[in-house]
Amino acid sequence: MGSQMAEYNIRFESVVENLNVMEAALNEKLAALEKQTDSRLKKMEKDISARFDKLEQLLMKNTDDLSNKIDKVTGQDRRQMAEILAEMSKRLMG
């Protein structure tokens, strides 16, 4: 019985050692994955920030263009637009 216990202890120690080796390997792989994830997250944040900056610039440009087009509308254009709207409202009313 004593020899069986010694053999079980040896097997148990071997299993514990193997588990420790596997745990260390997994921790190493997890650390590498965490580093990759952090790197990819930072790149994605930069990309998103750059895209939002481009979008903001595009919106500002389009807003300025629209504002300039509105400013170019002459008094005659406004009168013509008023006549068209008046005509449409007459048709809609009756």
In tens, the pLDDT along 15-73 reads 999 999 999 999 999 999 999 999 999 999 999 999 999 999 999 999 998 888 777 77
DSSP states of the chain as a string?
-HHHHHHHHHHHHHHHHHHHHHHHHHHHHHHHHHHHHHHHHHHHHHHHHHHHHHHHHHHHHHHHHHHHHHHH--HHHHHHHHHHHHHHHHHHH-
| pTM reported for the whole predicted model | 0.53
More confident residue, 24 or 82: 24
